[in-house]
Amino acid sequence: MRRTVVALLGVVGLLFGTAGTALAYEPVNVVHTERVQAGPYSLTVGFSTWPVKALQSLDFTFVPDGGIEGRSGTLSVSRPDGKRAGRPDPLVRHPRKLEVWGLDITALPDPGDWTLAFAVDGPDGPGTGRLVLPVQEQPGPPMGLSWAISTVPLFGLVALIVIAWRRTREDTSV
C-alpha cells in the first residue's frame, strides 16, 4: 500500500512538474508590420524580428482586415534571384496564434530582396498582392568559420581518447 501511494505521488509530481514546459512557448511577439493590398483585401504582415536577416528564425503573421474567417489564400515566396522557393502554399493558422494566418519559425537562407506574393479569396472575390522583403546578411561569422570553430572540441576529444587508449594499451603489455 505504501509503495502504491509513493508511486502515485511520484506520477502526480511528474505530471505537474513537467506541465510548465508546455507553457514555455511564448506567444508570437510582432515587432514590425507591413501593409499589403491584395485586390479588395488589405493584409497586415507581421514579423517577430526586424530587420530580417538571412538564416535567422522568425515568425510571420498574415492578418487580413476583418479576420481570416470566410477567407482563404496562398503564399508564394520568390528568392532574390527571382526563382520561386517551392510551390504556392495555402495560408494556414499560425500554430501559436490561432486567430491569424502565419508561418512558425521560418528562416530565409539568402540575403537580398525576397518577394512574398499573396492570393486571397473571400466574399469580395479574389485578389493578389506582393511584398518585397529586404533580407540582410547573416549575423555573426561566416558559416564555414563557425563550423570550424565548433569542431575544435571534437578534435580535442578524439585526441584525448587516442592518448588514453595508447597509454592503456602500453600498460597491459608489461
Residue ranges per structural domain of the chain: 28-135
- DSSP H helices, the chain, are 2-18, 143-172
CA count, 13 A, side-chain hemisphere, 40: 8
In CATH, what class is 28-135?
Answer: mainly beta
Distance, in Å, from the CA atom of 130 to the CA atom of 23, rounded to the nearest integer, reads 35
**Could you identify the residue written with the cell 539568402?**
110
Provide mean pLDDT across the span 97-113. 92
Please tell me what DSSP assigns to residue 138: P
Integer-rounded Cα radius of gyration of the chain: 26
- Write the pLDDT tens digit of every residue in 17-64: 665 554 555 677 899 999 999 999 999 999 999 999 998 999 999 999
Q: Give the predicted TM-score (pTM) of the model.
A: 0.70
